[in-house]
Chain A
Amino acid sequence: MQEYADQIHRCFRCGYCTFPTDYSYFNCPSYRRFRFESYSTAGRLWLTYAWLKGEIDWSEHLAEILYSCTTCKNCVEQCPMKFAGDIVDWIVGARSDMVEKSKIPLEVGRFFEAVQVYGNPLKLPRAERDTWAGGINRYEPGDEYLFYVGCLGSYDENGQRMARGLAELLKQARISFGILGKEEECCGNEVYMLGEMGLFQMLAEKNIQRFKELGVRKIVTLSPHAYNTMKNNYPEFGAGFQVYHYTQLLYDLIKRNMIRFSQNQAKVTYQDPCFLGRYNKIYDEPRQILQGIPGIELVEMERNREDSFCCGGGSGNFVMDLLAGGEEIPSRVRVREAYETGADTLAVACPSCMTMFMDAVKEEGLEDRLTIKDVSQIVNESLPC
């Protein structure tokens, strides 16, 4: 992590990182939420540099500032400097330093502890990981896909609904797949982003070993977070799997006429998940799925694709919620923006976004006017009877 320490002073604190491309409003979730410049990317980088130089001591407030970043990569997208692509790595590096020194917020410590002990950040028993999965096969050698469900898909009520819906679709398309059930382990994406590299390596190696033992070649993930880490971080530990997010697979099945639509009737707007969009440049497939459904009208929110506004759930915040409180939390801002499009449905492709928005529509009093649905649910509802 020395690399970040040698580079972090390069931030000029120009503030481009706080905006979307058209400068229409602040697009950094934590700056938008807290509004002190110290909560912008520049604030984090300057304060971390000050900490490294010994100009300020570690404090809980410093750690809160560092950990309130959702690692949504808006800053990477907007920073005009050559080092832009490294910014999240620097933030993760600084967090990693704090982890090594055992100087992290209480919530972050609890997150790690839960993952370490229970295999999920929700602190729920491993035995309950597959309670949602009645009738869904366990992965067996020879199955084409391992369906990696992830922690929210396994334990969270909304995530479970997403997982069931997707499994149902895959069955109908006659895809051979299976899940790991109780044997599934946390993917570690959030652990990585929060800077616990030892725990991340353990999770990655354990998962890779299990996948190899089972002869897994293709993985389809429910969560863009799992997709991201399995695709981009796992190869460093010897993984060579083909990894797909479920929207990629669904789009392929639709193209091959393995999924056909009848009719739907909805005005839909779509939330680009950060780990699908900005991290992996998958913007088109989810939209093409939705646009391919007769009767669906897809409308865009003002901020979309590279300029999408994070739900606030990244970097473990879907559990820790370090950005909680008030009307200006990212998820509430975003559902208001979705509602302003005139859409009746906000489509998501991420269980983290689903969880954050389900709470937000209630807080905004929009639950009767804006329905949060995952892309696979919309596809399911559009199948011929």
Chain B
Amino acid sequence: MSDIYEALAKIVGKDYVSNQKEDRYFYGRDPGLMKPHEPDYVVMPRTTEEIQQIVRLANKEKTPVVPKGAGLALTGLVIPQKGGIVLDMKRMERILEVNEKARYVIVEGGTTHGVLKSHLQKHYPKLRHSIPDSPPIATVVANAVIHGQGRLTQQRGFNSDMVSGLEVVLPTGEICRIGSCSVSPYWFSKGPPLPDLTGLFLGWFGTTGIITKLALKLYPCKRIRDVMLFLTDRAELVPDIVLKLGHTEMMEDIVISTQPIPLRFRGNFFILVFITGDSEEEIEFKTKMAWDTLWEYFDSRDGGFVSITPDMKAPMMAMPSKDTTRFADVRKGGGFEYSGPIAPVDRYPDFVRKLEELASDYNLSYASAARVINGGHCMMFSFSYTFNRADPDEMDRAKKALDEAAEFSLEQGGVIWKPNIDEQKMMMARMDPNTLELMGKLKGLLDPNGIMNPGNWEAK
């Protein structure tokens, strides 16, 4: 056994550290298409203090540290590109506080969205958080770190916009509180009226520190929730339809999906419009507003609301959405990945054309779900391709399609969401040089030994 193994075992207990081949194999890859690379150790800490000790050890040994939630970004962000220690955070799973009056929850660094959802439903049924479409094992912290989106993103912005405080172990081992909690017992604000330092950690993929506690804003959970389905076969109309719906300021969530299978779906764009209300009257009013807003498309015969059977409605309403995961088995192959540019909504028709073109060029099955962000400031568009993990050629084609989609998205003015290491390089190559230099300076200042998730955001 190595000295590092023994030291880690001393910190977390021998049951929660491994250097066995099987564990390293599993933690060396994710469900996406990025090349695997194994860690030397997998560690499951239970406390902030244990993480502090691990970070100090890693600095001493100049060993990389990669904090990991469930590894569901699909873009290899927690594949330890240079080996070292993977910190599986999921033993830090407690919900520490729900402040009903100030509407926030404080969770530990490995608390899952599933557990938080269940806890709120059971104990605080009038409060909710923005649940992403990723499986319930996705962690709240990891989702915020990648600027994830969820069911409240149309109304409230990225899930990271909903953060209201952090506790972070810095790469040099200090424990630091960010936001109102740095001067107050309350975790109601991530920055204002102080300087907003959460930007040093959110979006950095664990390269600038390890978030051990996070406060997340909670929102009213209305008694009734419903979904409407607007159908059009003209992609060029989608941006206006979406912006008109956003104008009502009444929709919970707006998602546009398109897929070629079954055949009757091909060429159609399904705009899912979710609404919530505390009474039937509120639901009825919001429904009417949506209908009135889009009535002109009925008149012009360009689109219309379609009826939804209860069987269709159930999976649409589910949070998280199991249908998102099921896309991986379309080709009975256990894999899918998407490139997800964040871009202005008016890019939608061009993105759809490219989505279909790439699927045709590379002979792939595709689907896309685009989510409107913050009333229409932008959207997340997904170029999603499924692949068979037992077919290396198909995996190769899917990777090429995604690479091309990323290039296209950047050309169209998009910014790639949760970019893999290659896409990070693409973006840094286009980035304002002074911005890039600033990123490099910040990274160097925070992580002088370069131990934190190396390979990611290497802004030199």
Interface residues of A (CB under 8 A from B): 7, 9-16, 18-19, 22-25, 34-38, 43, 46-47, 49-50, 55-57, 59, 61-62, 65, 80-83, 325-326
Given A46-B26, A56-B21: A12 touches B90 (CB 8 Å cut-off):
no
What are 22 A-B contacts defined by CB distance under 8 Å? A9-B388, A12-B334, A16-B137, A22-B118, A22-B122, A23-B112, A23-B114, A23-B117, A24-B119, A24-B122, A36-B18, A36-B42, A36-B44, A37-B26, A37-B27, A46-B25, A49-B389, A56-B22, A56-B25, A62-B22, A80-B323, A80-B325
Q: Is B454 an interface residue (CB 8 A)?
A: no
- Of all chain B residues, the one with the shortest Cβ separation from A65 is B22
Shortest distance in angstroms between B56's beta carbon and chain A's nearest beta carbon? Answer: 23
Q: Is B148 an interface residue (CB 8 A)?
A: no
**Inside 8 A of B121's CB, which chain A residues have their CB?**
22
- 8 Å CB interface, B60-111 against A: 70-72, 88, 90-91
Q: Are A19 and B114 in contact (CB under 8 A)?
A: yes
Shortest distance in angstroms between B320's beta carbon and chain A's nearest beta carbon? Answer: 9
**Inside 8 A of B30's CB, which chain A residues have their CB?**
13
Q: Which of A19, A50, A80, A81 contacts B25 (CB 8 A)?
A: A50
Q: Is B328 an interface residue (CB 8 A)?
A: yes
Q: Which of A12, A25, A35 contacts B91 (CB 8 A)?
A: A35
Q: Are B118 and A23 in contact (CB under 8 A)?
A: yes
Q: Are B329 and A12 in contact (CB under 8 A)?
A: yes
Task: Tell me the complex Cα distance, A12–B328, Å.
Answer: 7
Q: Are B322 and A80 in contact (CB under 8 A)?
A: yes
Q: Which of B26, B31, B332 contacts A43 (CB 8 A)?
A: B26
**Inside 8 A of A50's CB, which chain B residues have their CB?**
25
Leading 4 A-B pairs by shortest Cβ distance = A23-B114, A15-B137, A80-B322, A12-B328
Which bucket holds chain B's interface residue count? 35 or more
Shortest distance in angstroms between A5's beta carbon and chain B's nearest beta carbon? Answer: 10
Given A9-B390, A13-B31: A38 touches B26 (CB 8 Å cut-off):
yes
Q: Is B16 an interface residue (CB 8 A)?
A: yes
Q: Are A83 and B328 in contact (CB under 8 A)?
A: no
Given A16-B136, A19-B136: A80 touches B326 (CB 8 Å cut-off):
yes
Task: Tell me the complex Cα distance, A16–B329, Å.
Answer: 14
What 1/0 mask marks residues of chain B from 328 to 340 whose CB sits below 8 Å from any chain A CB?
1100111110000
Given A23-B114, A36-B44: A14 touches B25 (CB 8 Å cut-off):
no
- Of all chain A residues, the one with the shortest Cβ separation from B329 is A81
Task: Tell me the complex Cα distance, A36–B72, Å.
Answer: 16
Beyond A14-B325, A35-B88, 9 additional contacts (C-beta under 8 Å) are A12-B335, A18-B137, A24-B115, A34-B15, A35-B44, A36-B18, A36-B42, A59-B21, A81-B326
Given A12-B334, A16-B325, A19-B137: A61 touches B118 (CB 8 Å cut-off):
no
- Of all chain B residues, the one with the shortest Cβ separation from A18 is B137
Q: Is B2 an interface residue (CB 8 A)?
A: no
**Inside 8 A of A14's CB, which chain B residues have their CB?**
31, 72, 135, 137, 325, 328
